Structure 1
Amino acid sequence: MFNPERVLYGRLPNYRLSDLGMKMAEAAALDLQKRGRQVSRLIASPLLRAQESAQPFAATFNLPIDTDERIIEPTNSFEGTKMRGPGGALRKPKNWPLLINPLRPSWGEPFQQVADRMLAAIDDAWASVDDGDVVLVSHQLPIWMVHRALAGERLAHDPRKRRCDLSSITTVERHGDRFVETGYANPAAPLQLNATDVGAV
């Protein structure tokens, strides 16, 4: 992402991938190709950065990009602000009421709602193909909510401890009547040292 000011972009429009971000997305698509994965469908969040991240998958696997509103970033009252450091939103008393309940959280869409819509989208994606993989291009928090929900962990968490790097791949599979997480890969890791952002797409 091109985000030199390190603002929280959330659902704001027109935040696009940098050249480095596109290389990261290409690394993720190439990783699946090298593993011999059969990708039958490609679905992305409607946000520009997710649509751009999906493009290398579309080219690699010759697929159209479908869009699902349910895998978008959560709403967040801090959109467009710099969170930490001089002038950061967390230092301004007028913003402190937004932090009253981090378990919900009070500053945006409830964690449970994010998990529920993500899991519903995953279930529909699984049912939409007869065989092969479905790639869903989403964002860090929604992906982390899926991880914690499937692991039976409390959804409230310390965001500094999320395991969900830029252009990383979290794999879930259907086992019987439920989904389970079966893998995590970070094919763009060598490129991340020079990245401005730390969240995943």
Structure 2
Amino acid sequence: MPAERLHLVRHGEVFNPRRVLYERIPGFGLSDDGRRMTRAAAEYVRGLDRPLTELVCSPLQRTRESAEPFTALFGLAPRVDDRVVEPWNAFAGTRMSKAVLIPTNWWRLRRPSVPSWGEPYAQIAERMTAAMDDAWHRADDGDVVIVTHQSPIWIAHLRVAGLPLRHDPRTRRCALSSVTSFERKGDVWRETDYAEPGATDGAVDVGAV
């Protein structure tokens, strides 16, 4: 039988003192607060009192570390899925607030609907849908947790809601260590809940692409 519910969990706060877009750059792990946030997310899922039978994460350090509390609480080793990774972004390694002020970068902002500065939203939607479908059918009843990133979660939300994928990244409802939950009836996904179990006031959250 397939799963019963699927939770997209965003990673916790990253240690990012330079406040750059960390994209897929190696070496960006969780801060101490980030580890606290991820523990809160795992405890929230445990508090739902539902069996967890599948744990998936993206290959990046911050998501692997964010999956660790789920392993500790549920005894599941995470399965790495490249399809739920952070999108690539032309501004990786820079501070976005400064990069957009440089005239030679303006051409990258010419088509925000794609977007022209990174991986196309449509491509993110397709890979996330495929990863969610596969995880759903791989599970033996119970729930699935996929530990991933802000953009893939928000794009999945838009796709499931039937909304345009074009959006302002600053408006995403996807806090650090948030949990966005879905169910699937037949071939149709629907979002069931959104929660922010980790206190994120004062957190540094400027690295998402």
Give structure 2 stretches of 5+ with no counterpart. 1-13
Structure-2 residue corresponding to 1:170: 180
* Letter aligned with residue 23 of structure 1: R
> Any unmatched runs of 5+ in structure 1?
none
Match of 1:194 among 168, 183, 202: 202
Asked if structure 2 preserves the Cα contact closer than 8 Å seen for 1:46 and 1:67, the reply is: yes
Mapped partners of 1:25, 1:62: distance in 2: 16
Cross-structure match for 1:143 = 153
- The answer (yes or no) to whether the contact 2:84–2:152 under 8 Å persists in 1 is yes
Deviation for aligned residue 1:124: 0.2
| RMSD (Å) for aligned C-alpha atoms | 1.1
Q: Give the counterpart of 1:96 among 86, 102, 106.
A: 106
1: CA distance, partners of 2:207 / 2:90:
18
The answer to whether 1:182 aligns with 2:195 is no
Deviation track 1:47-73 (CA, whole Å, cap 9, x = no partner) reads 000000000001110000110000001
Q: Structure 2 counterpart of 1:99, which letter? A: L
CA distance in 2, matches of 1:123, 1:174: 9
TM-score (norm 1): 0.94
Q: How much has 1:176 moved relative to structure 2?
A: 2.1
SS in 2 for 1:107: coil
Count of residues in correspondence between the two structures: 195
- Compute the TM-score of the two structures, normalised by the length of structure 2: 0.91
Whether 2:37 is the aligned partner of 1:24: answer yes
User: Which stretches of structure 1, 4 residues or more, deviate above 4 A after TM superposition?
Assistant: none
Equivalence for 1:57 = 70
- 1:75 counterpart residue number: 88
Moved more, 147-156 or 170-179: 170-179
Kept in 1: contact 2:58–2:64 (CA 8 A): yes
The SS at the match of 1:15 is coil
**Maintained 8 Å contact 1:58/1:64:** yes
> What fraction of aligned residue pairs are identical, expressed as a percent?
53
Higher relative contact order (CA 8 A, sep 6+): 2
Select the residue among 109, 118, 136 that pairs with 1:108.
Answer: 118
Q: Counterpart of 1:193 in 2: which secondary structure? A: coil
- Report the Cα offset of residue 178 of structure 1: 1.1
| Residue 198 of structure 1, CA deviation | 5.5
- The letter of the residue matching 2:86 is E
Tell me by how many angstroms 1:101 deviates: 0.5
Q: CA deviation at 1:199?
A: 6.7
- Name the CA distance, whole Å, in 1 between partners of 2:167 and 2:151: 10
